[in-house]
A and B are shown apart, each in its own frame.
Chain A
Amino acid sequence: MKRLLVVVFLLLSVPAAARSYTVSFNQIVEHPALDALRQGIKDELKAEGFQVSYHDHIAQGSIATANLIARQMLGEQPDVVVGIATPTAQACAQVIRTIPIVFAAVTDPVGAGLVTSLEKPGGHITGTTDMSPVGRQIELIQSFLPGVKTLGVIYNSGEANSVTIVKALKEEAAERGLKVEEATVSNSAGVTQAAKSLVGRADAVYIPTDNTVVSAFEAIVKVGQQNRLPIFAADTDSVKRGAIAALAVDYYQMGRQTGEMVGRVLKGADPATMPVETLREFKIHLNPASAEKMGLKISDAQLKNADKIVE
């Protein structure tokens, strides 16, 4: 009898409330930043004590596959669908009408048609946007180069996110009395040429979070070093690869923040009333060796100001 009681007690002590959930991911490509974001979501949900099983899907750059995955997700019947990047979030939004959707790494959710407004999404969709803090990024460049007059930018005009950022860049630059010189590419093979075209036209170059251009970042660094043209990035990984500095979204942190939102939805919050969130904190990464090669001296104050210094 005693033994039976012990068994019953043990059974009861298993937390009855530990409901397990399912979350399905639809991610456009495998990419260190986007992978870190997905991991951040999982880590946050784990830290909050959710029991979640995951379906990870990656569309490998194909929009047709992203759509196929969105349909497959309906069969999985997850509690929350997470769309990582614009085309995958759109694919989910078109097909999935009854399951809440949380998107991440979408620069312009209103322009993409995902939500009606950032404050009141309205439907069953909300999420986080990775819009670059363009104004603060320009100020960072100015702190290194007070005399900067013209800012060069290299981007792929076929990437929706980049087009949005460059539009914001032009507005913010105009407010600060700067000119913007554009060089567009359609694939990473054209990046060297685009970087060279900015030599003599720009005092410094800003590289937005553009998948095509960032994938060929070394080519830009080479041009920058050969011509003493300072190169700044909008993602922290590119600082390791030779950019002087970046003030940027930490995609892992963004994942944690997105995970928080997913957690709220799992607990029953209505996405319609959850505002789209922008990242709360940005990090400054700095590469002094690269700065020297591009003809810039870094002050002690700037070294102190950085969150991370690349050796």
Chain B
Amino acid sequence: MTFYAFMGALEQGFAYGFLVLGVYLTFRVLDFPDLTVDGSLPLGAAVSAVAISSGVDPWVSLLLALGAGFLAGMVTGILNTKFGILHLLASILTMIALYSINLRVMGAPNVTLLGKPTVLDPLLNAGLGPFVAAPLLFGVLSCLGLLGLLWLLHTAYGLAIQATGANRQMITSQGVNTDRVIILTVGLSNGLAALSGALLCQSQGAADVNMGIGTIVAGLASVIVGETLFGCRSVGRALLAALLGSAVYRLAIALALSLKLGSFSFTPSDLNLLTALLVVGALVLPQVRRKVLKR
């Protein structure tokens, strides 16, 4: 793997960092498998790209994306809690609705950002190459996101989120409105996914309505690979593991793409299989380790 491929993988890993933190929040903390992210990630990209195209500051566009994703996630949460639709189905419904909404927001399937201002400009103007600037900025941003989430999860409200995921009946009897917790948390998770989308479109030069395909798979794979490799004993450790898992996941793809064994080489058509194998490996490894240790 070349330096560029390595830094490119890091850049993508950290750009997807917010998404992975969001997926961790719903999937692991809240125990709510949420497929909305396949729609809210491109929603964030769409909002950010359209905002920048119409002259909004790139940083402000990130906030707009966050807000839009938050609303989208709240819809899933409301469908689930107020209308009693199964979480998986509720999130699928929001996801497919978002496809149409994203097309409306962009007015076209693809909005270009080539030559437009982005959050990377100050670093690039300071003389950093794009291969240093993007991973650096996205790395710092996603670490800030991690710290923010860590703080939130240790507030009383954050404890309510954790308790809602762990034992809903118990926490309801403690007087916590679990419906509201679910709606706001799924909202936050999708806000983070949208933020990832906004960063991605700024780093890749365009927002495309199809860029969300497979987002949830990448998110889950990152969380699971991270847990296996870096452990999840405390919330802080688990969040860090998820973020690092995102980088490892992208590095694994980059590595697979550049791997050559004699005349055999992987092509991107093998990527889905490799992803599945990677996740299965990450899931099975701890069990194997346990069995070996028992002996």
Residues of A within 8 A of B (CB): 30, 57-65, 67-72, 74-76, 86-87, 90-91, 93-95, 97, 111-114, 157-160, 163, 186
Q: Cβ of B206: which chain A residues have Cβ within 8 Å of it?
A: 87, 90-91, 94, 112-113
Q: Cβ of A159: which chain B residues have Cβ within 8 Å of it?
A: 109
CB pair B110–A86 under 8 Å, yes or no, is yes
CB distance from A210 to the nearest CB of B (A): 11
CB pair B112–A113 under 8 Å, yes or no, is yes
Name the one of B99, B108, B131, B254 contacting A68, with C-beta atoms under 8 angstroms. Answer: B254
The main secondary structure of chain A at its interface with chain B is helix
- B257 close to chain A: CB less than 8 A: yes
Give the distance in Å from the alpha carbon of A75 to the alpha carbon of B130 in the complex. Answer: 14
The contact sample of 25 A-B pairs, CB cut-off 8 A, is A60-B267, A60-B272, A61-B210, A62-B213, A62-B214, A62-B268, A64-B211, A65-B253, A65-B271, A67-B8, A67-B203, A68-B8, A68-B253, A68-B257, A71-B9, A74-B131, A75-B2, A90-B110, A90-B205, A94-B205, A113-B205, A113-B206, A114-B114, A158-B210, A186-B99
Q: Cβ of A59: which chain B residues have Cβ within 8 Å of it?
A: 268
Q: Cβ of B100: which chain A residues have Cβ within 8 Å of it?
A: 186
Q: Cβ of A91: which chain B residues have Cβ within 8 Å of it?
A: 204-206
Give the distance in Å from the alpha carbon of A30 to the alpha carbon of B211 in the complex. Answer: 18
CB pair A93–B5 under 8 Å, yes or no, is no
- B3 close to chain A: CB less than 8 A: yes
Known contacts A65-B271, A163-B108; A72/B258 CB under 8 A: yes
Residues of B within 8 A of A (CB): 1-5, 7-9, 11-12, 96, 99-100, 103, 108-110, 112-115, 130-131, 200, 203-206, 208-211, 213-214, 218, 250, 253-254, 257-258, 267-269, 271-272
Known contacts A63-B211, A72-B5; A158/B12 CB under 8 A: no
Total inter-chain residue pairs, C-beta < 8 Å: 124
**Further 17 A-B residue pairs, CB within 8 A, beyond A67-B203, A114-B112, A160-B110:** A57-B268, A60-B267, A60-B269, A62-B213, A62-B268, A64-B12, A65-B257, A68-B9, A71-B7, A72-B254, A74-B131, A91-B206, A94-B203, A95-B130, A112-B110, A157-B103, A186-B99
Name the one of A58, A74, A90, A113 contacting B269, with C-beta atoms under 8 angstroms. Answer: A58
Closest to B267 in A: A58
CB pair B109–A112 under 8 Å, yes or no, is no
CB pair A75–B4 under 8 Å, yes or no, is yes
CB pair A158–B114 under 8 Å, yes or no, is no
CB pair A158–B115 under 8 Å, yes or no, is no
CB pair B5–A113 under 8 Å, yes or no, is no
Q: Cβ of A113: which chain B residues have Cβ within 8 Å of it?
A: 112-115, 205-206
CB pair B8–A71 under 8 Å, yes or no, is yes
Closest to A63 in B: B211
CB distance from B39 to the nearest CB of A (A): 12
CB distance from A258 to the nearest CB of B (A): 20
CB distance from A120 to the nearest CB of B (A): 15
Give the distance in Å from the alpha carbon of A91 to the alpha carbon of B213 in the complex. Answer: 17
Q: Which of A64, A72, A90 has the most CB of B within 10 A?
A: A64
Closest to A162 in B: B109
Q: Which of A95, A157, A159 has the most CB of B within 10 A?
A: A95
Give the distance in Å from the alpha carbon of A157 to the alpha carbon of B209 in the complex. Answer: 10
Give the distance in Å from the alpha carbon of A147 to the alpha carbon of B109 in the complex. Answer: 34
CB distance from B81 to the nearest CB of A (A): 28
Q: Cβ of B205: which chain A residues have Cβ within 8 Å of it?
A: 90-91, 93-95, 113
CB pair A75–B3 under 8 Å, yes or no, is yes
CB pair A67–B12 under 8 Å, yes or no, is yes
Q: Cβ of A93: which chain B residues have Cβ within 8 Å of it?
A: 114, 205
Q: Cβ of A158: which chain B residues have Cβ within 8 Å of it?
A: 99, 103, 109, 209-210
CB pair B2–A74 under 8 Å, yes or no, is yes
CB distance from A76 to the nearest CB of B (A): 8
Known contacts A65-B271, A74-B2, A158-B103; A57/B209 CB under 8 A: no
Give the distance in Å from the alpha carbon of A91 to the alpha carbon of B207 in the complex. Answer: 11
Closest to A93 in B: B114
Give the distance in Å from the alpha carbon of A16 to the alpha carbon of B254 in the complex. Answer: 37
Give the distance in Å from the alpha carbon of A173 to the alpha carbon of B99 in the complex. Answer: 29
Closest to A72 in B: B5
CB distance from B215 to the nearest CB of A (A): 9
Give the distance in Å from the alpha carbon of A113 to the alpha carbon of B207 in the complex. Answer: 12
Known contacts A74-B2, A93-B114; A160/B268 CB under 8 A: no
CB distance from B274 to the nearest CB of A (A): 11
Give the distance in Å from the alpha carbon of A256 to the alpha carbon of B12 in the complex. Answer: 35
Give the distance in Å from the alpha carbon of A59 to the alpha carbon of B131 in the complex. Answer: 21
* 9 A-B pairs closest in CB distance: A75-B2, A71-B8, A113-B112, A94-B205, A113-B114, A160-B110, A74-B4, A60-B268, A75-B4
Name the one of A67, A75, A94 contacting B114, with C-beta atoms under 8 angstroms. Answer: A94
Q: Cβ of B210: which chain A residues have Cβ within 8 Å of it?
A: 61, 63, 87, 158
